Amino acid sequence: MRIYMQTDFMANRPPRYYQLILEKDLLGGWAVVREWGQQGAGGRVKREHFADQESAQHALMQIRDKQLARGYKVVFIQGQDHLT
């Protein structure tokens, strides 16, 4: 699953983006990968590991909700059928 969010465009600076990816790792666990930064510039990446998919999805939704509260808007969701 992938969720891509972005802030509104402002005249004095490019929008910021925040991307969340839920992926299965090679050892049978799950990872939530976050990437964020300013559009057109290098961003930061953070990866968190979880033992099961349910925990990882819960963490992803909490992060998404926090960013929505900060003013980000969802641009697109890939793999939406995997949402619970």
Please report how many Cα atoms fall inside a 13 Å half-sphere around the Cα of residue 74, on the Cβ side: 13
pLDDT in tens, 11-47: 788 899 999 999 999 989 999 999 999 988 889 999 9
Domain ranges within the chain, ordered by starting residue: 2-82
Q: What is the pTM of this model?
A: 0.87
Distance CA 21, CA 80 (A): 12
Q: Which CATH class is domain 2-82?
A: mainly beta
How many angstroms separate the Cα of 11 from the Cα of each of 2, 4, 17, 26?
A: 28, 22, 16, 44
Distance CA 22, CA 63 (A): 12
- Partners of 68 in the β-ladder: none
Distance CA 84, CA 67 (A): 19
